[in-house]
A and B are shown apart, each in its own frame.
Chain A
């Protein structure tokens, strides 16, 4: 596997990608998230928190990747932060604008969205650090079940909304 220092220079459009490990990794088929995954995630938190809070550790590992890859990683991080902000804003919007909902339902939906947003922000940092470290070490980028979890949460909130609207606003 070629190290990050020997990556080919991008063309004028900046669209070429590293050809390490024989092109794109194969899509890894996984089943949905399980309780064990959540436990693993929580167990790994202290180790990761140490990584977040001691930034010098990451700089000592491996070699500095091409700055373009770091910037791409940074933009992905920011995209996840915007996703978090959208969920948080959605939580406030549910509470303020869906006044025809019963209060418990409204607050439950809002809290679900707010908690989802906060988790999204935590995950954004965590995934960014893991990607940065993997790039420094020349490893494959980490895979994650979080997008599946988030999709399930959003789908659950949407379904709950449909049910509430059908039952509560029917008559």
Chain B
């Protein structure tokens, strides 16, 4: 790319992208809490406990992905999102849907 690496993007694009990751993590937390509540409501069977644990793992994994990306966005000219990261984030979301569906009433 041409031009020097800016210290700060005047359009605050990395900042906006960081915040987008933050609010997506927040949305994930809300959905994960609802999924956990679902499993607890069925009575805590061993299967329900496993489902709750997997929802928690999905949330933690998404948190880790988001955190890594937020750190990656700290540079003046951040690298584009890796395909692997995008796929991993979507897999976390699909996992939540799948394990949530398995504990439906």
Q: Is the CB of A106 within 8 A of B89?
A: no
Q: Is the CB of A118 within 8 A of B20?
A: no
Q: What is the interface of chain A mostly: helix, strand, loop, or mixed?
A: helix
Given A77-B81, A82-B24, A68 contacting B87 (CB threshold 8 A): no
Distance between Cα atoms of A125 and B97 in the complex (Å): 16
Q: Is the CB of A124 within 8 A of B11?
A: no
Residue of B16, B21, B31 near A88 (CB, 8 A) is: B31
Name the A residues within 8 Å of B41 (CB-CB): 96
Total count of chain B residues near the partner, CB < 8 A? 46
Name the B residues within 8 Å of A55 (CB-CB): 82-84
Q: How many A-B residue pairs have CB under 8 A?
A: 145
Given A77-B81, A82-B24, A117-B97, A95 contacting B38 (CB threshold 8 A): yes
Name the B residues within 8 Å of A124 (CB-CB): 86, 90
Q: Is the CB of A89 within 8 A of B9?
A: no
Name the A residues within 8 Å of B105 (CB-CB): 95, 103, 106-107
B46 within 8 A of A: no
Residue of A51, A67, A96, A122 near B78 (CB, 8 A) is: A67
A12 within 8 A of B: yes
- Min distance, Cβ A49 to any Cβ of chain B, angstroms: 9
- Min distance, Cβ A131 to any Cβ of chain B, angstroms: 11
Name the A residues within 8 Å of B21 (CB-CB): 78
B27 within 8 A of A: yes
Q: Which residues in chain B, 17-41, are within 8 Å of chain A measured between CB atoms?
A: 17, 20-21, 23-24, 27-28, 30-31, 34-35, 37-38, 41
- Min distance, Cβ A116 to any Cβ of chain B, angstroms: 9
Distance between Cα atoms of A110 and B104 in the complex (Å): 8
Distance between Cα atoms of A162 and B56 in the complex (Å): 34
Given A66-B1, A85-B93, A129-B86, A91 contacting B81 (CB threshold 8 A): no
Residue of A74, A82, A95, A96 near B81 (CB, 8 A) is: A74
| New A-B contacts (18) at CB < 8 Å, excluding given A11-B10, A85-B27, A118-B97 | A5-B1, A13-B11, A14-B11, A14-B12, A53-B87, A55-B82, A65-B80, A68-B11, A71-B14, A74-B20, A79-B20, A92-B31, A107-B105, A111-B104, A117-B93, A118-B93, A121-B97, A122-B90
Residues of chain B whose beta carbon lies under 8 Å from any beta carbon of chain A: 1-3, 9-14, 16-17, 20-21, 23-24, 27-28, 30-31, 34-35, 37-38, 41, 73, 77-84, 86-87, 89-90, 93-94, 96-98, 100-101, 104-105
